[in-house]
């Protein structure tokens, strides 16, 4: 018997062994007094510990792991500031319903209220944002179907719809409901629209995918079946004018608190596991099939799709210099697809940054689920840099978003991750503040003199972010042209170390800063309402 197994049953050893018995194989975190020994004991018994440079990034990585694995991601941090930093991941996990177990350090009980080192009442702080698991086992929880009478009422509503639409969210991806949802779409021929992280639950290449006509689909739909998605800011709360004011929403969700939220009506809610409920709904609809061939609604969607695809094609082939977002994403997509076609499902895309996330969401097609991670419900920046080994990870992020957790490139290098990072660098938050280096220097000098110089959204001019990779033993590229970008993409994909491709693009126009989906509709004047 090893010396480790003969060591005293300390608290740290008990925690480590309990985690092992629960099936935990990896812990994310940042150690210090008093949690270092927990990590050491975990390593001793075969649990992998991935040490980060900041608790925020560690907690985000644990939430991503929880989403992808459907098992709680474990995050280990010190008390006080460690917990405070990690609360970012707690909030992100809570809002997105991702499973997370946060283990935080604490002062000794006899020191409570004395002002001890890193003393913090973590329980009181985190209690409103967390739930406590009452059964410490790894047995699978039973899945629940929905009420049959309510199901029949919903089926009647769908059969009488003139313009039905299915929304597919990340909840459907998390529930592994792709087979039942794909069968449902094939059976019914109803157009569908995935959320960014719901992409791939049904293939993006499917003829019923209405993503290219998103605005038209929302505006025209009269009955909307929501499979594991929320009527939040991503889907404009289900409200006019983005949606028809007469649209009826059928929510399929495992969370009762989502029922009837925003513009939805709880009368048509179907509470239960999205996989099982979708199967129930398919059975209830029987041989019914939406007549898409003769539908004016589908015809209008096709017209909108062709129009929008022409606009996207123009943006993709824009040869302006510096590069534009559309051109950058088209070059990256073409290069990656030549190396790993979407049908293979060999790439997991990560997107963060307002413009980067918003514009790239429709550029990179997915044929398989759970291959895209982004800001999620909370629009959380910095959530993607934590390692989560799955396929070839390609992170596409703005220069502002990269700054939130850029130091985690060292973490990637230390644990041997070959993540390909693109920093889409426009020299600003949302947009830049200068068109030339001389312009930026002049504004910077004014700022130093307390005059009106750089605006609040300005960042450094052409900052050499790629040097972070060089400093950590990875590969670095600074690119300005499509040819340079293509070459860097291919080299980065084939690399076995972390890669940063710093892509210098146009600063963009100074506009009201927001996510594209967050823009509120313009209010009509009272006169217009008459």
- The burial class, CB within 10 Å (0-12 / 13-18 / 19+), for 23 is exposed
Closest by alpha carbon to 490, among 376, 351, 336, 373? 336
Range 307-332 average pLDDT: 94
Give the mean pLDDT of 330-352: 94
pTM greater than the 0.85 cutoff: no
CA distance 409 to 500: 9
Residue 364 or 6, more confident: 364
Question: Both tokens of residue 1?
Answer: 């018997």
As a whole number of angstroms, the distance between CA 186 and CA 183 comes to 5
Quick one: the chain helix, strand, coil %, rounded to 5? 45, 15, 45
Give me the pLDDT at residue 96, please. Answer: 86
At 259, list the tokens. 């029922």
Percentage above 70 pLDDT, the chain: 85
Q: Name the pLDDT band for 117 (thresholds 50, 70, 90).
A: low
Rg of the chain over all Cα atoms, to the nearest angstrom? 25
Question: Residue 112: its pLDDT value, please?
Answer: 62
Could you tell me the strand order of the sheet in which 192-194 lies? 192-194, 164-168, 223-227, 248-253, 270-271
Q: What value does the mean pLDDT take over residues 287-292?
A: 96
- pLDDT tens digits for 392-426? 999 999 999 899 889 999 999 999 999 999 999 99
For residue range 434-492, what is the model confidence (pLDDT) as tens digits? 888 898 899 989 988 888 888 888 899 999 999 999 999 999 999 999 999 999 999 99
Distances 200 to 168, 172, 288 between C-alpha atoms, Å = 10, 10, 25
Q: Round to whole Å and give the CA distance between 321 and 436.
A: 12
Asked if the model's pLDDT at residue 283 lies above 60, the reply is yes
Q: What are phi and psi of 42, to 5 degrees?
A: -65, -45
| pLDDT computed for residue 7 by the predictor | 64
Element (H, E) at 88: helix 81-96
Query: Is a pLDDT exceeding 70 seen at residue 124?
Result: no
What are 323's two structure tokens? 């590069």
CB 62 within 8 Å of CB 84? no
**What CA–CA distance (Å, rounded) separates 285 from 282?**
5
pLDDT, residue 1, reads 38
Per-residue pLDDT tens for 165-186? 999 999 999 999 999 999 999 9
For the stretch 225-263, pLDDT in tens is 999 999 988 899 999 999 999 999 999 999 888 888 888
The greatest distance separating any two alpha carbons of the chain, rounded to the nearest whole angstrom, comes to: 85
Using CA atoms, how far apart are residues 329 and 422, in angstroms rounded to an integer? 10
pLDDT in tens, 343-354: 999 999 998 877
Report the chain's mean pLDDT, rounded to a whole number: 87
Say if residues 105 and 68 touch (Cβ distance below 8 Å): no
**pLDDT (0 to 100) of residue 111:** 62
What is the predicted pLDDT for the residue at 515?
Answer: 57
Summarize pLDDT for 68-108 with one digit per residue, the tens.
Answer: 999 999 999 988 778 878 888 888 888 888 899 998 877 66
Query: Crossing angle, helix 11-21 and helix 36-44, to 10 degrees?
Result: 50
The answer, yes or no, to whether residue 529 has pLDDT greater than 60, is: no
pLDDT digits (tens, 9 = 90+) for 384-400: 444 444 589 999 999 99
């Amino acid at each position: 018997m090893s010396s480790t197994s003969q060591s005293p049953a300390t608290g740290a050893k008990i925690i480590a062994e309990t985690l092992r018995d629960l099936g935990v194989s990896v812990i994310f975190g940042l150690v210090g007094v008093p949690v270092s020994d927990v990590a050491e004991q975990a390593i001793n018994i075969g649990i992998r510990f991935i040490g980060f440079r900041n608790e925020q990034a560690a907690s985000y990585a644990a939430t991503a792991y929880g989403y992808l694995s459907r098992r709680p991601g474990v995050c280990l941090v010190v008390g006080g500031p460690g917990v405070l930093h990690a609360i970012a991941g707690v909030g992100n996990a809570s809002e997105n319903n991702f499973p997370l177990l946060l283990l935080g350090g604490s002062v000794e009980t006899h020191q409570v209220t004395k002002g001890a080192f890193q003393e913090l009442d973590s329980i009181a702080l985190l209690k409103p944002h967390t739930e406590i698991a009452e059964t410490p086992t790894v047995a699978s929880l039973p899945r629940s179907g929905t009420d049959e009478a309510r199901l029949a009422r919903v089926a009647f509503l769908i059969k009488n719809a003139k313009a039905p639409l299915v929304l597919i969210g990340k909840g459907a991806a998390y529930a592994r409901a792709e087979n039942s949802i794909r069968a449902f779409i094939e059976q019914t021929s109803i157009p569908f629209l995935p959320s960014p992280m719901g992409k791939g639950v049904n293939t993006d290449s499917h003829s019923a995918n209405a993503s290219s006509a998103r605005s038209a689909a929302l505006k025209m739909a009269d009955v909307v079946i929501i499979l594991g998605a929320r009527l939040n800011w991503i889907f404009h709360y289900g409200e006019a004018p983005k949606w028809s004011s007469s649209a009826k929403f059928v929510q399929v969700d495992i969370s009762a608190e989502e029922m009837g939220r925003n513009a939805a009506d709880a009368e048509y809610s179907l509470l239960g596991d999205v996989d099982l409920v979708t199967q129930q709904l398919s059975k209830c609809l029987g041989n019914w099939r939406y007549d898409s061939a003769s539908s004016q609604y589908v015809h209008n969607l096709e017209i909108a799709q062709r129009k929008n695809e022409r606009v996207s094609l123009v943006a993709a082939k824009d040869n302006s210099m510096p590069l534009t977002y559309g051109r950058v994403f088209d070059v990256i997509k073409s290069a990656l697809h030549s190396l790993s076609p979407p049908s293979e499902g060999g790439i997991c895309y990560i997107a963060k940054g307002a413009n980067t996330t918003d514009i790239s969401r429709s550029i990179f097609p997915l044929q398989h689920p759970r291959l895209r991670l982004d800001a999620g419900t909370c629009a959380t920046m910095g959530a993607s840099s934590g390692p989560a080994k799955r396929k070839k990870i390609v992170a596409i992020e703005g220069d502002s978003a990269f700054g939130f957790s850029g130091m985690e490139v060292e973490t990637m290098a230390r644990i041997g991750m070959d993540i390909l990072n693109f920093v889409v660098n426009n020299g600003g938050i949302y947009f830049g503040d200068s068109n030339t280096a001389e312009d930026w220097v002049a504004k910077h000098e004014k700022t130093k003199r307390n005059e009106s110089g750089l605006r609040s959204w300005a960042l450094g001019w052409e900052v050499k972010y790629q040097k972070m990779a060089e400093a950590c033993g990875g590969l670095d590229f600074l690119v300005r042209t499509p040819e340079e970008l293509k070459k860097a993409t291919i080299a980065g994909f084939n690399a076995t170390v972390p890669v940063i491709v710093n892509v210098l693009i146009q600063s963009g126009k100074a506009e009201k800063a927001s996510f594209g989906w967050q823009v509120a509709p313009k209010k009509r004047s009272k006169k217009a309402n008459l």
